């Protein structure tokens, strides 16, 4: 079973293609026609839909990228470390983090601009907001263009990675470069790994599959490893180290006895001792290859001593039941991939040792107890020569016979096909779908159930819990009526004194008046104008009434009444005096009148009325040289706002007819070279 299939990751488009795809989809999937004559709510909805749809498409695409790329912390450690070796997990996580940040930014931009679009007051403003929103989203995507390109390169490389299942039966081949690893995997599997007579022909992991005892085994060919410090190893060697560290597999360590690989047996033994910590608790087989060039028996004594040391170390890597090393059978094997001598023996030995170890681990686990508890095989020992045949209880025989009868009856039962053949065949016989209904009375099965009755859908009135709900409603209604009965407490007038009754009547009268006034104010929506005293027919706002009200409270009203009279007379006196002064000063011109007015203003008390400034008077800092220029500017400003004010006051009830026949569509055919107007 392939656990991780990186070939299914969706293609990551470039930043420019990303923008083109989303904007094209928005244009195709949303309405494209809007007129300035539409209601403003409809125009807002049109542009809000554009912004929301674009954001949803961006969010969907970016979420697909984030979800489909594997999380290094969630996948198997083998794949996590392999991806880190190949791509550097810091850069990988940064790229995915930028995609996630872009997704959040686009969501925030959409939210902000939809909020602004809700208050758009014209088609032009709504369109401008839509353009700004889409532009900011596209800018965010353009900024993450390098991350998208980086992820696309990673996707292409990951699609070429072999499909390795870290949990299945695995045989791992390792050793120095050019010792015959790829030739061996080509012999025992259908893999076609390139074989050349120089080092590092294999630059990545290759996978093949072989069978042993009707079980499928996964064989992994790793690149060659050199004996040097861990920090100095390159990416090709780190692929092999990662596989050795994380895969539970049988390890085949290849030795080239002939030295034709370019490395001596001492160097290969040094590599073995430097990485032997990676072989712990794994079945290890040391394979002496190229015996056609250099048999094991003819090795020099020094080299033979090194090989035997490696064999003893290999026996220590896997211990048996009591903590003792396992037997040395199958630890050191010889073969030649050229003559194929010993190739199958090496494969069988590795598979057998791996199988034994996996069975042993399962026997030690707790799962074996659950399996053993499910079955028990009893083999009684014979006591004498008497035969004791199998005895089946009578109840079992009867149950078996009953089942046989039911099966026979089931076979005899007529099928719908048989009934159809008996009743005229297809097109004549119609199968009844109601005969298997489970009803209280079988006669009800063929009743016709109306779907529409008195203009109502019957199904809307069918509720299996209607009685229960009715009881709950009645219970709630009873509780509510009891509470209302408790709350409705009326004061009895007979228990009050005459003064209290009179006071109660005044309170009720005042309350009813307040309620009436509130209802009148509510009916007009609070838009009643302030009534001038000239039209105060009911004399509700007089100083006499105010004095009576203040006296009743216990406040001296004389000061308030005098102040109100002074305010009401002040402007009249001023006008009359000014009018008389103006008549007297007409002969002398406006200068004397201004002087007199200024002297009156200085002598007048602080409660006199302030004069308004002439709208055409130039204020310092406005940037206008004189009042004539300011008057002209105010006139132009008012004229320019006329159309805007008119459009702003226009509503749906004004019966405006938008221009639904644009000239370029309804002005007849165009001759050659007449398209400039468009």
Query: Any idea which of 87-91, 364-368, 591-595 has the lowest mean pLDDT?
Result: 591-595
pTM: 0.50
What pLDDT score was predicted for residue 605? Answer: 46
pLDDT digits (tens, 9 = 90+) for 328-387: 566 888 888 888 888 898 888 889 888 888 888 887 877 777 777 777 778 888 888 888
Are the C-beta atoms of residues 18 and 61 closer than 8 Å to each other?
A: yes
What pLDDT score was predicted for residue 546? Answer: 81
Residue 580: pLDDT band (50, 70, 90) is very low
What pLDDT score was predicted for residue 269? Answer: 86
The Cβ of residue 21 has, within 10 Å, a number of other Cβ atoms equal to 13
What pLDDT score was predicted for residue 338? Answer: 85
Label residue 178 exposed, middle or buried (CB < 10 Å: 0-12, 13-18, 19+): buried
What pLDDT score was predicted for residue 310? Answer: 83
Which residues, 6 or more positions from 455, have their beta carbon under 8 angstroms from its beta carbon?
none
pLDDT digits (tens, 9 = 90+) for 8-50: 888 999 999 999 999 999 999 998 898 988 999 999 999 999 9
Give backbone dihedrals phi and psi of 398, rounded to 5 degrees, phi first: -65, -40
Q: Residue 341 carries which DSSP code? A: B
Query: Any idea which of 180-194, 283-297, 475-489, 643-657 has the lowest mean pLDDT?
Result: 643-657
Are the C-beta atoms of residues 299 and 257 closer than 8 Å to each other?
A: yes
In the chain, residues under CATH classification 1.20.120.1190 are 6-157
The average confidence (pLDDT) of the chain is 81
Tokens found for residue 440: 């209280």
pLDDT digits (tens, 9 = 90+) for 238-293: 887 888 887 888 899 888 888 788 888 888 888 888 888 888 888 888 888 888 88
Asked if the model's pLDDT at residue 188 lies above 70, the reply is: yes
pLDDT digits (tens, 9 = 90+) for 198-213: 777 777 788 888 888 8
Asked if the model's pLDDT at residue 600 lies above 80, the reply is: no
pLDDT digits (tens, 9 = 90+) for 546-562: 888 888 877 888 888 88
Asked if the model's pLDDT at residue 531 lies above 80, the reply is: no
Asked if the model's pLDDT at residue 109 lies above 90, the reply is: yes
Q: Residue 433 carries which DSSP code? A: S
Q: What is the DSSP string of 224-246?
A: ---SS-GGG--HHHHHHHHHHHH
b/e 621-650 (16+ beta carbons within 10 angstroms → b): eeebeeeeebeeeeeeeeeeeeeeeeeeee
pLDDT digits (tens, 9 = 90+) for 438-470: 888 888 888 877 788 888 887 777 777 878 888
Residues making up the chain, counted from first to last? 678
In the chain, residues under CATH classification 3.40.50.300 are 163-367
The CATH number assigned to the domain with range 163-367 reads 3.40.50.300
Are the C-beta atoms of residues 26 and 48 closer than 8 Å to each other?
A: no
What pLDDT score was predicted for residue 428? Answer: 85
What gap in Å lies between CA 490 and CA 510, rounded to an integer?
Answer: 18
Query: Any idea which of 6-10, 482-486, 569-573 has the lowest mean pLDDT?
Result: 569-573
What pLDDT score was predicted for residue 579? Answer: 47
Are the C-beta atoms of residues 165 and 131 closer than 8 Å to each other?
A: no
What gap in Å lies between CA 253 and CA 175, rounded to an integer?
Answer: 5
What gap in Å lies between CA 596 and CA 585, rounded to an integer?
Answer: 9
CA 489 remoteness from chain centre: 57
What pLDDT score was predicted for residue 566? Answer: 73
Tokens found for residue 189: 């599997």
Mean pLDDT, residues 431-442 taken together: 85
The CATH number assigned to the domain with range 6-157 reads 1.20.120.1190
> What 3-state DSSP class applies to 197?
coil
Higher-pLDDT residue of 597 and 511 is 511
**456-457 and 206-212 beta bridge pairing:** unpaired
Give backbone dihedrals phi and psi of 513, rounded to 5 degrees, phi first: -65, -45
What pLDDT score was predicted for residue 138? Answer: 94
């Amino acid at each position: 079973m392939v656990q991780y299939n990186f070939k299914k990751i969706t293609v990551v488009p470039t930043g420019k293609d990303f923008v083109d795809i989303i904007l094209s989809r928005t244009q195709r999937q949303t309405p494209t026609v809007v007129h300035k004559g539409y209601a403003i709510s409809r125009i807002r909805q049109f542009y809000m839909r554009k912004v929301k749809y674009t954001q949803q498409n961006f969010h969907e695409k970016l979420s697909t990228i984030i979800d489909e790329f594997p999380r290094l912390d969630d996948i198997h450690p083998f794949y996590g470390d392999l991806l880190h070796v190949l791509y550097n997990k810091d850069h990988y996580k940064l790229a995915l983090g930028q995609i996630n940040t872009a997704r959040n930014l686009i969501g925030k931009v959409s939210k902000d601009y939809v909020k602004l679009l809700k208050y758009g007051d014209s088609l032009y403003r709504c369109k401008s907001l839509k353009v700004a929103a889409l532009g900011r989203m596209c800018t965010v995507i353009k900024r993450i263009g390098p991350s998208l390109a980086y992820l696309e390169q990673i996707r292409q490389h990951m699609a070429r990675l072999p499909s390795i299942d870290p949990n299945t039966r695995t045989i791992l081949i390792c050793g120095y470069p050019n010792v015959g690893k790829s030739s061996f995997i080509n012999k025992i599997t259908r893999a076609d790994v390139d074989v050349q007579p120089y080092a590092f022909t294999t630059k990545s992991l290759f996978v093949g599959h072989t069978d042993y005892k009707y079980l499928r085994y996964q064989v992994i060919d790793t690149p060659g490893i050199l004996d040097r410090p861990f920090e100095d190893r390159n990416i090709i060697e780190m692929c092999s180290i990662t596989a050795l560290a994380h895969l539970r597999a049988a390890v085949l360590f290849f030795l080239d006895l002939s030295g034709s690989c370019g490395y001596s047996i001492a160097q290969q033994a040094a590599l073995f001792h430097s990485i032997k910590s990676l072989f712990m608790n794994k079945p290890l087989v040391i394979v002496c290859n190229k015996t056609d060039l250099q048999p094991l028996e003819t090795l020099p004594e020094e080299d033979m001593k090194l090989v035997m040391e490696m064999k003893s170390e290999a026996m220590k890597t896997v211990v048996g039941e009591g903590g003792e090393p396992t037997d040395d059978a199958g630890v050191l094997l010889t073969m030649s991939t050229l003559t194929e001598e010993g190739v199958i023996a090496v494969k069988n030995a590795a598979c057998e040792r791996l199988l034994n170890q996996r069975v042993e681990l399962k026997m030690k686990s707790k799962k074996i107890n659950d399996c053993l508890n499910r079955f028990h095989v009893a083999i009684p020992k014979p006591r004498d020569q008497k035969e004791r045949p199998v005895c089946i209880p009578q109840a079992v025989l009867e149950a078996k016979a009953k089942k046989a009868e039911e099966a026979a009856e089931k076979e005899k039962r007529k099928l719908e096909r048989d009934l159809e053949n008996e009743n005229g065949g297809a097109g004549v016989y119609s199968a009844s779908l109601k005969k298997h209904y489970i009803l209280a009375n079988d006669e009800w099965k063929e009743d016709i159930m109306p779907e529409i009755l008195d203009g109502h859908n019957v199904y809307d009135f069918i509720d299996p819990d209607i009685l229960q709900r009715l009881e709950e409603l009645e219970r709630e209604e009873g509780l509510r009526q009891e509470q209302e009965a408790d709350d409705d407490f009326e004061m009895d007038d007979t228990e009050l004194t005459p003064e209290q009754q009179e006071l109660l009547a005044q309170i009720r009268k005042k309350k009813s008046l307040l309620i009436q006034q509130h209802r009148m104010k509510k009916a007009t929506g609070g838009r009643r104008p302030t009534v001038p005293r000239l039209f105060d027919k009911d004399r509700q706002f007089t100083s006499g009434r105010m004095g009576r009200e203040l006296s009743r409270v216990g406040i001296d009203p004389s000061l308030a009444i005098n102040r109100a009279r002074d305010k009401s007379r002040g402007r009249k006196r001023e006008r009359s005096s000014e009018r008389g002064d103006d008549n007297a000063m007409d002969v002398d011109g406006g200068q004397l009148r201004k002087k007199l007015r200024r002297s009156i203003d200085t002598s007048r008390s602080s409660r006199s009325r302030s004069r308004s400034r002439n709208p055409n008077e130039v204020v310092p800092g406005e940037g206008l040289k004189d009042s004539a220029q300011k008057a002209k500017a105010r006139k132009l400003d008012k004229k320019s706002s006329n159309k805007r004010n008119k459009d702003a006051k226009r509503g749906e009830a004004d019966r405006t007819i938008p221009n639904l026949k644009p000239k370029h569509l309804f002005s007849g055919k165009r001759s050659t070279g007449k398209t400039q107007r468009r």
